[in-house]
Amino acid sequence: MTGSAAQTMKTRQIVRSGCLIGLVLAFATFLHWYGGRGPALTAAEGKAFLDQVRMSSAGVDHPEVVAAAASLIAHDDGREFYMVNFEQLRTGPEAVKQDRTYARAVLPALLQHGSMPVYVGRIEGLLLGRNESDFGRVAVVRYRSLRDFLVIFTDPSMQSGVDHKFASVAYTEARATSPILSLLAIRVTAACLFGLAALSVWICTRARGA
């Protein structure tokens, strides 16, 4: 092997190692961002958040939110949960505009705290039960933790977004749920994608003689 060939192989090995290390670090960063297994709220944190909820516009206009938040705080385990939202949508272009304005406000805040909508869909009809409200849409939002939810909920910039939400819906219900069985394997999916990227790097560098 000539000196030039040896240097080329060494360079490719360095590139391969750098890419693999970068992918490992990127995956570790993703796991840290996605979280979902943190410590529960302390009593002091819970009280501070509850005071903020009580003083927020949502807490003032909807006192039941304060009691619901207190119940969630009391049972917090620090783990991820899902908020299921049933919405009775207003009609007309102004309602659509308000809905999109709210989405633009809430999405960056959700992503900043490892949270995201995982399902949004139209309700096509009622199969079983009593449909006392004419819900038109359901949205399921994954929150990294109750702590993250309360940080988002009490953020002053989000309070202005709440006005847009209630301008786009005539009625809404939100229910917090913790997973018992979930096939929404985002961590596994991410691991597979990063694994495929690492395998591609390995194959490509070997195919080039590394």
Residues 148, 202, single domain; the answer is no
User: Mind listing the pLDDT tens digit for each residue in 117-169?
Assistant: 999 999 988 888 776 678 899 999 999 999 999 999 988 777 777 788 888 99
Residues 100, 152, single domain; the answer is yes
Find all residues with CB under 8 Å of 20, minimum gap 6, and list them.
198, 201, 202
- Flag whether 16 is in a domain: yes
Residues 123, 155, single domain; the answer is yes
Residues 195, 124, single domain; the answer is no
Residues 155, 192, single domain; the answer is no
Q: Lowest mean pLDDT of 37-41, 57-61, 94-98, name the range.
A: 57-61
Residues 171, 191, single domain; the answer is no
pLDDT value, residue 209: 47
pLDDT value, residue 157: 73
- Flag whether 61 is in a domain: no
Matching residue, tokens 């939110």:
65
Residues 165, 191, single domain; the answer is no
Domain that holds residue 29: 3-34+186-207
- Flag whether 109 is in a domain: yes
pLDDT value, residue 132: 63
- Flag whether 170 is in a domain: yes
Residues 157, 126, single domain; the answer is yes
Residues 83, 167, single domain; the answer is yes
The pTM (predicted TM-score) of the whole model is: 0.85
- Flag whether 149 is in a domain: yes
Residue 132's domain is classified under what CATH number? 3.30.70.100
Number of compact structural domains in the chain: 2
User: Exposed/middle/buried for 109, CB within 10 Å: 0-12, 13-18, 19+?
Assistant: middle
On the question of pLDDT at 185 being above 90, the answer is no
Residues 84, 149, single domain; the answer is yes
